[in-house]
Structure 1
Amino acid sequence: MLDDTDRRILRQLQADPTLSGADLADRAGVNAATCWRRLEKLREAGVLRGSRAVIDWRALGYAVEVSLRVTLDKTVARAFEEFAAEARRIPEVLEIQTFLGQVDVRLGLIARDLQHYQALYRERILTLPHIADLEALMHVARIKTDETVPL
């Protein structure tokens, strides 16, 4: 699916997504027209899904990060859907993942401080539907966060 040229372009784009088209082409070793055509093909194929601003939530005053491992009541037919729909409505929930196994869902959330987290937990999280069990894991340090793909 991807050839060496596509990989070079994607490697350079991952390394510096702010590059102009001409600079990206130059660093990837292709001309600008080829680079543009390759990027369009990668978008059409769904390989390159877009770009986004990455905002450091700590710089905005959020100091607490928590992972919540949730086990849902599996006797309710639409427990997953109803739980996820309500969890999506909490702005501080940045991530929702589902799993197979004892833990059904993991919520990643942020709070300004422990008092804010406690209020979120009591007023928003504990009111989510179909929770059978809930475990909170307070993040201490982020060792590695990398969305780049080995190419």
Structure 2
Amino acid sequence: MLDDVDRRILRQYQATPEVSGQELAERAGVTPATLTRRLDRMRAAGVLRGVRAVIDWAALGYAVEVSLRVTLDKSQPQAFEDFAAAARAVPEVLEIQTFLGQVDVRLSVIARDLAHYQRLYREKLLALPHITDLEALMHIARVKYDESLPL
């Protein structure tokens, strides 16, 4: 589906998404018209799903990150749906992942400090429906974080 020109455009785009269309076209070695046409085609095909701002939550005063591994009561027919809907309503929950296996769900949660996390844990997270087991893993360091694809 993608040719070498598309991959070159995507490599340049993910490396420097803030550059202008003119500069992106120059970096990718295509004309601005070609760049626009190819980006539009990749958006229509779902290759490019959008443009977003990446905000450093630590710079906004969130110093604690915790991964919660959750096991749900799978005897309840709506356990996953109910849990996910309730977890989406907690603003400090950044990510919800579901799994097959012993752990059903992983939540990525942020808090300003340990006191904030403790309140969040007691008041909101423990109140999420259908939990049978909950394990908290405190993040110490992010060793690698890269959303770039090897194009």
Task: Bin the TM-score by the shorter chain.
Answer: over 0.9
Instruction: Give the distance between the partners of 2:103 and 2:15, measured in 1 at CA.
Output: 35
Equivalenced residue count is 151
Deviations 1:80-123 (A, max 9, x none): 00000000000000000000000000000000000000000000
Instruction: Give the distance between the partners of 1:50 and 1:126, measured in 2 at CA.
Output: 34
Instruction: Give the distance between the partners of 2:83 and 2:48, measured in 1 at CA.
Output: 30
Q: Which runs of 5+ in 1 are unaligned?
A: none
Q: Which amino acid aligns with 2:93?
A: V
Is the aligned partner of 1:22 residue 2:27? no
Q: Which amino acid aligns with 1:106?
A: R
Aligned residues with identical type, % of pairs? 74
Superposition deviation, residue 19 in structure 1: 1.1
Deviations 1:62-91 (A, max 9, x none): 000000000000110000000000000000
Aligned to 1:43: 43
Superposition deviation, residue 55 in structure 1: 0.4
Aligned to 1:64: 64
Deviations 1:108-147 (A, max 9, x none): 0000000000000000000000000000000000001111
Give 1:1-150 correspondences, 5 Å limit. 1-150=1-150
Question: What TM-score comes out, normalization by structure 1 length?
Answer: 0.99
Structure 1 runs (4+) deviating above 4 angstroms are none
Instruction: Give the distance between the partners of 1:126 and 1:50, measured in 2 at CA.
Output: 34
2:48 aligned counterpart, secondary structure:
coil
Instruction: Give the distance between the partners of 2:98 and 2:144, measured in 1 at CA.
Output: 21
Q: CA RMSD in A?
A: 0.4
Instruction: Give the distance between the partners of 1:80 and 1:48, measured in 2 at CA.
Output: 29
Q: Which amino acid aligns with 2:10?
A: L
Instruction: Give the distance between the partners of 1:14 and 1:144, measured in 2 at CA.
Output: 17
2:24 aligned counterpart, secondary structure:
helix
Q: Which runs of 5+ in 2 are unaligned?
A: none
Instruction: Give the distance between the partners of 2:52 and 2:77, measured in 1 at CA.
Output: 36
